[in-house]
Amino acid sequence: MTDVRVTNGDEEIAAALGLRRAVFVEEQGVPLHEELDDRDAEALHLVALDGPDVVGTCRLLDDGDALKLGRMAVAARARRRGVAGRLLEEADAQARARGIDRIRLSSQLGARPVYERAGYVAYGGLFLDAGIEHVMMEKALA
């Protein structure tokens, strides 16, 4: 069973950043300088653990009247096992605990169905981020 929660210490944050590097930089070809930014220091990082291994992660940032969910990554060996959905459920719980009733994200087009199944709705047009087509999505938690 995969445990999903807020990171517990610098080692888990480093493992989450390592997973993001593997997925976005190595698999998808996103330049490292576009993947890592100074917002990681202020973000709330969530992880999915399979034993001691971080197999999923995302981060949450304040975004005005909402939380912004970003940098969702799941290890290749853990995909299609519900890890992303569990991370999204934990993101909902974290938002509600903070009195926030809305989460926004930018989704790669290929990941859009994952977010739609979790209740997110697309808005606006397509745009490129790191050379990959994305669409903005939002979920009301009320």
pTM: 0.94
Residue type, 98: R
**CATH number belonging to the domain at 3-140, selected among 2.40.40.20, 3.60.110.10, 3.40.630.30, 3.40.640.10:** 3.40.630.30
What residue ranges do the domains of the chain occupy? 3-140
- Summarised one tens digit per residue, pLDDT across range 52-110 is 999 999 999 999 889 999 999 999 999 999 999 999 999 999 999 999 999 999 999 99
* Closest-CA residue to 53 (of 82, 18, 23, 85): 18
CA geometry: angle at 17 spanning 79 and 5, to 5°? Answer: 65
Instruction: Summarize the confidence of residues 117-136 as an average pLDDT.
Output: 94
pLDDT score for 1: 55
pLDDT score for 135: 97
Q: What CA–CA distances, in Å, run from 105 to 18, 61, 116? A: 21, 10, 12
* Closest-CA residue to 115 (of 58, 75, 54, 40): 58
